[in-house]
Amino acid sequence: MPLIMETTLDLKKTAADTTSIATYGYKAETINSTIHSAADAQNVADRYIALRAYPKPNFDSITFPITNPEMDDAQRDALLGIFIGQPIMITDLPTQIASGGLFEGYVEGWNWSTSFNQLFLTINLSPIQFSALFQDWAEVNASEAWNTLSGTITWQTAIGVIA
């Protein structure tokens, strides 16, 4: 699955995954970009290949029965308080649905549906790897002030966890 990134400087950067090509076949793509730096163009090409070289489960929504008596009020309140862009982690999913049984992503929207004496909330999601670029902590200046974050913050406490 080679990718050629062409930058504004007429540089060409190539990324490929030979194992993916041997397993799934060859697919080439050329992307014209306004990226100025050759190193940045290479990083984009490498990320593109890393995200697309292997099939992934397509988990994009989950439905919760809000009127289910097994759901406690805290869980119900957490679901009713969701918002667009909210980071979310869902655990204990079957591995056929999410790699390792874990989904991390963002809320993109929701739908309500009803039937006789029942109310359902379907949350539309986008996977984190397609939505956010991860910070390379080696590139962060050691004197960077993180005055808006708690010193004890973790992924689980930073986002709404639904299990």
Contact (Cβ atoms closer than 8 angstroms) between residue 16 and residue 28? no
Distance between CA atoms of residues 47 and 53, nearest Å = 10
User: pLDDT digits over 86-130, tens only?
Assistant: 888 888 888 777 777 888 888 999 999 999 999 999 999 988 876
Angle at 42 between CA 39 and CA 48, to 5 degrees: 145
Same domain, 26 and 87: no
Walk along the chain (163 residues) in steps of 10 and give the mean pLDDT of each run.
51 76 74 74 78 73 92 91 89 80 88 94 86 59 58 55 43
Number of compact structural domains in the chain: 2
Out of 12, 35, 52, pick the residue that ends a domain: 52
Angle at 90 between CA 64 and CA 131, to 5 degrees: 110
Same domain, 82 and 42: no
Distance between CA atoms of residues 60 and 127, nearest Å = 8
Distance between CA atoms of residues 32 and 21, nearest Å = 22
Distance between CA atoms of residues 90 and 7, nearest Å = 38
Same domain, 67 and 106: yes
For the record, the structure tokens of 151 come out as 């010193």
Same domain, 129 and 87: yes
Q: Which residue has the tokens 């709404």?
A: 160
Same domain, 9 and 82: no
Same domain, 73 and 121: yes
Helix, coil or strand: residue 134: coil
User: 101: which residues sit within 8 A by CB, 6+ positions away?
Assistant: 91, 92, 93, 94, 95
Same domain, 41 and 89: no
CB atoms within 10 A of CB 33: 14
For the record, the structure tokens of 38 come out as 């050759």
What is residue 160's predicted lDDT score, i.e. its pLDDT?
47
Domain that holds residue 44: 3-52
What is residue 136's predicted lDDT score, i.e. its pLDDT?
58
DSSP-H helix ranges across 3-96: 18-24, 38-52, 73-80
Same domain, 45 and 90: no
Q: Which run of H or E residues covers position 113?
A: strand 103-115
Give me the percent of the chain exceeding a pLDDT of 70: 68
